Structure 1
Amino acid sequence: MIDIRKEVEKRLSVLCGLELSGVNHATDMLTLSFGPLRQVTNFKGVAKSVGAWALHVQCAWRLEEAGHAMATEADLRGPDEKAHASARCLQGILLARGFSAVEAVTAHEAGGLDLLLSHGFLLTVVPDGVAGEEDWRFFVPGSNAEHFVIRGGKIDPGGI
């Protein structure tokens, strides 16, 4: 049996020391880029900048600074204008003081995690645990490499 905590920490440990290089959203999904940005062409032929690693979060999450909530998944829900404004606010919070680097990754039992970032930020991801629903995924953008996916609070053996 796979130890979810150990597997999450093993997979995401590559982030330690890397800078958070991008903060965006796709509808209500939080999308984070880590490491140096590079250009890739998406399936529509459009060039875009991506980091060495990406974390896409579709479950509950909370960004804290010194124990105070700065943002949650609710900030990306609602009309597009609200989501865009919230994403710009997150960019300002996380990137305005210079890039935040990942200092530590700690996994939780049901596939959740804490990313401790420099400048006193903590991102906590809490899977919803709904069977069949994707909670979050971690991958190398622009690559055909397998994605590491948490679905329903468990590791999805199928990846992508």
Structure 2
Amino acid sequence: MDDKISTSAEAHEGDALPRRHEVHADPAAGNGEEVPEGLRRKPVEQKSPAEWAYERLILYIKNFEEQLDNEHEVAMGFTGGDAGVLRIEGMGFFDPDIVTFYGSDPTGAKTQLVQHVSQLNVLLRALPKQIETEAPRRIGFRLVQDLEKA
């Protein structure tokens, strides 16, 4: 507990700011770093459900990638059916309520998932990087750069 005194306006503003908290068994796994300034520029109540989900997914993907070695890239797995996995190569949203993932499956076939935010359920997985690339491609870093430009 701190002894900082806030005005009611500051307290209300603090409640509206995006926060993130995580606890892991492995201390090296990270503890949910500060939310980037790009997410704080526009108040949450002014964001569509799609935009808000998109921004938070970026943080999860970036954090996941930071834990990968140079032999793996981020992908997402699907539940139900034989859809398999999608190597995440891009991500976007369509207001007010659609989030889209772009990528390829393990055979290299172009793949796109369009999902309503009410059905959003993302399982991040590590896949071995594609043989023809020297370094793993890190989409999380590029997504965060895009957020900071906006």
What's the TM-score, normalizing by structure 1?
0.30
**Greater CA radius of gyration, 1 or 2?**
2
What's the TM-score, normalizing by structure 2?
0.32
Larger helix share, 1 or 2: 2
Larger strand share, 1 or 2: 1
